[in-house]
Amino acid sequence: MDDGETWLLQAPDPDLETTIVLRPAPLNHPPALIRAWFDDAADAVVPLHDGTLATARRAADAYARQAKAENTRRAYRAGVRAWCDWCDIHYLKALPAQPEDIVAFLAYERGRGCSVTTIQLRSAAIRYLHHLAGVALPTQHARVTETIAGIRRAAGLAGEHPRKKAAATLAVLTRILEPIGDDLVGLRDRALLLIGFAGALRRSELAAIRVEHLEPRAGGLQLTLPRSKGARTGAIVTIAIPAGTMAFCPVKALYRWLEVAGIREGAVFRRVWQPPAGGGHDQTSARSQILGSQAIDPRTVARIIQARSEAVGFGPGVLGGHSLKRGALTEGMERGVHPTRLKQHGRHKSYAVLDEYLEMGDPFETHPMQGIL
């Protein structure tokens, strides 16, 4: 990004093309311009191949940005927006930034109630902003790292620790599923919950499932994930979804949803609109509901899990987007599945990461010294 010329880019939809101007990094410019520049720069759109060295270099730069997951890029955009807005209020330079301004911003964010995780993301976003601009990274300054360490330590001393979402084990999942009806929303949610549990899927993986990713097998269904957080090299991941023998079979639930919704291609889990209340429609009828064409987003997956769990008496926020994956792995652990198989099923790089997803239950009942002392 060392010039301001216009060049043709390949849009996410291969049937569409768009021409945008990528400007050089707006050093020492007003924060609003820096914010707009970062939003464009973080999109990571690969230019169309034209055989030139300049385009090849831009393509390499875009591929490097695509190493960041979409969720990460979204968090960085939010962080840069917050940073630029704060700099605008206080008449400070957002790019390049000064370490003393960054630590003041982080202290401000902490003071207004941001979690330690959010503070770390804010710092990472400012770092990435400077990385894309090709300038020195002020977040590496000792003052910044020590401030973050101090915020983390103060939070720990105050008893503030990240809250993990509860595991949706089989007993929990059964309780959630029992009252779900057979309207379109109910069929979709039942299939989503069961597939997410059986495949130990993250919310982003559930939202991204398409019909072409499904392949019937003798023992159930094979699901292909074009992208998975655990496969950082970009390798395609296949997951076996076994046909169930109990009342709640994930494969039957999925096929039932696809059949009633009439979905034969494209996104599997889609938005469903309810008819207006009092409009003379049967609110419980699948035919009266309107099916969208676009996939739901990962945040909608989390909201579905939360809403369904709260409907059966779980407190607000007890379960969330990670609960299905935690529940599946915890259930496997309690049934004696070997940790290697759990690690493979959960698509984790290490056993340390796997441990973060396991809910250990009663620490005294399963204590390694139980019966020894």
Q: Can you tell me whether residue 104 is helix, strand or coil?
A: helix
Tens of pLDDT, residue by residue over 313-345, are: 999 989 999 899 999 999 998 888 998 899 989
DSSP H helical segments within 91-200, as ranges?
Answer: 99-111, 116-133, 142-157, 170-177, 184-198
What is the model's pLDDT at position 18?
Answer: 36
What is the model's pLDDT at position 41?
Answer: 84
| Mean pLDDT across 266-290 | 70
pLDDT tier, 2 (very low <50, low <70, confident <90, very high otherwise): very low
Tens of pLDDT, residue by residue over 64-96, are: 887 787 778 889 999 999 999 999 999 999 999
| 214: pLDDT strictly greater than 90 | yes
What is the model's pLDDT at position 361?
Answer: 59
Q: Which of 55-64, 73-82, 223-232 has the lowest mean pLDDT?
A: 223-232
| Mean pLDDT across 280-291 | 60
What is the model's pLDDT at position 281?
Answer: 46
Using only C-alpha atoms, what is the Rg of the chain?
24
| 284: pLDDT strictly greater than 80 | no
Residue 354 to residue 345: CA distance in whole angstroms: 10
pLDDT tier, 20 (very low <50, low <70, confident <90, very high otherwise): very low
What is the model's pLDDT at position 296?
Answer: 95
DSSP H helical segments within 158-230, as ranges?
Answer: 170-177, 184-198, 203-207
What is the model's pLDDT at position 277?
Answer: 59
What is the model's pLDDT at position 104?
Answer: 98
The helix or strand, by DSSP H or E, that contains position 271, with its residue range, turns out to be strand 270-273
In the chain, % helix, strand, coil (3-state, to 5) comes to: 50, 10, 40
Q: What is the DSSP string of 248-263?
A: --HHHHHHHHHHHHT-
Residue 214 to residue 201: CA distance in whole angstroms: 15
Q: List the one residue out of 16, 24, 132 whose CA is nearest residue 73.
A: 132
* Residue-averaged pLDDT of the chain: 85
Residue 84 to residue 133: CA distance in whole angstroms: 15
| 312: pLDDT strictly greater than 60 | yes
The helix or strand, by DSSP H or E, that contains position 57, with its residue range, turns out to be helix 53-65
Query: Which residue did the predictor score with more confidence, 290 or 371?
Result: 290
Alpha-carbon dihedral angle through residues 66, 69, 72, 78, given to the nearest 10 degrees: 60
CA distances, 89 to each of 111, 118, 144, 309 (Å): 17, 21, 21, 42
Residue 249 to residue 243: CA distance in whole angstroms: 6
Please give the backbone phi and psi of residue 4, each rounded to the nearest 5 degrees, phi first.
-115, 20
Who's near 363: CB < 8 A, 6+ residues apart?
A: none
Query: Which residue did the predictor score with more confidence, 346 or 19?
Result: 346
Hey, what domains does the chain have and what are their CATH numbers? 6-157 (1.10.150.130), 170-357 (1.10.443.10)
| Mean pLDDT across 232-254 | 84
